[in-house]
Each structure stands twice: as structure tokens, then as C-alpha cells.
Amino acid sequence: MVQRVSRQFKDISLSFDMHPITRDILVLKDADAIKRSIRNIVQTTLGERFFNSNFGSDVTTSLFDFVDYGTAAMVETQIRNAITTFEPRADNIKVEVSPKYDENAFDVTIYFNIVGQDFPQQQFSYILEATRR
């Protein structure tokens, strides 16, 4: 097995805020860049990208199902598959999804390691809820 050695990862911030001194667009680095990328992958609906219709996840269609542990397990699998497929910088991925019955939403916590770097395991959480289109 070939082990990849990573350099520093950088992505632009999609808020397009400017750095107060350099006046450049803010940059997300390393773990923050990967976390933002993972969240974008999960929240992108399949078919939303014109030239890559397979990019994204099918999570949004599951949000209109019941808020229960069965749906949470399905969402968990969809998130893990999307990250494994589209984010090569993340490894050893663990996803936990818990239903929030009163809010018609799910608590999502994602754990991962950064490929090729000796950072401790990364973690971030957010609430996944159905939005009307």
C-alpha cells in the first residue's frame, strides 16, 4: 500500500470575506479546508453539478422521511459513502447521526484523520435539517 505524504491544504472561503490586511479572499487551511469540503459534499444534491452529476450525496432526499433511527442509519451510510468517494484528503472516517425528534432534524458528527499528516483525529458537528425548495 502506498502511503501519501501531504503538504498543507488550502481552499478559499466561500463567504468571500476579505482579509483585513492583505485584502485577499480568506483562505481555509488544513483541517478547516477539509471540514468545509466535507460539508459541501454532503449538502450537494446528486445531479446539482452540471458536468459531474454523480458528485454529492443523496442525503437531502432522506430528510423528508421519518426522523427516526432507521433514517439516521441510512443518512449515516450516505454521508460516509460520499466522503469516501469525493474527499481523498480524509481517512478513517466515522459518522454518527442522531435524530432530533422535536426539531425534525439530525445531529451529525463526523470524525476523520487527515491523510499524510500527524494531526490528531478531527471532529466537527452540525445539524442537518430539511429545507423546503
Q: What is the pLDDT of residues 43-92, one digit of tens each?
A: 888 888 888 888 888 888 877 767 888 889 999 999 999 999 999 989 99
Flag whether 4 is in a domain: no
Integer angstrom CA distances of residue 13 from 25, 26, 29, 32, 79: 7, 6, 10, 10, 22
Residues of the chain with pLDDT > 70, as a percent, come to 76
Flag whether 2 is in a domain: no
CA gap 41, 75 in Å, rounded: 13
> How many helices (DSSP H) and strands (DSSP E) are in the chain?
3, 5
The pLDDT assigned to 107 comes to 94
Question: What is the domain range of residue 68?
Answer: 10-129
Q: What is the pTM of this model?
A: 0.76
| Domain count of the fold of the chain | 1
Check which CATH number belongs to the domain holding 62 and give it: 3.10.450.40
Are 127 and 110 contacting, i.e. CB atoms less than 8 angstroms apart? no
Flag whether 5 is in a domain: no
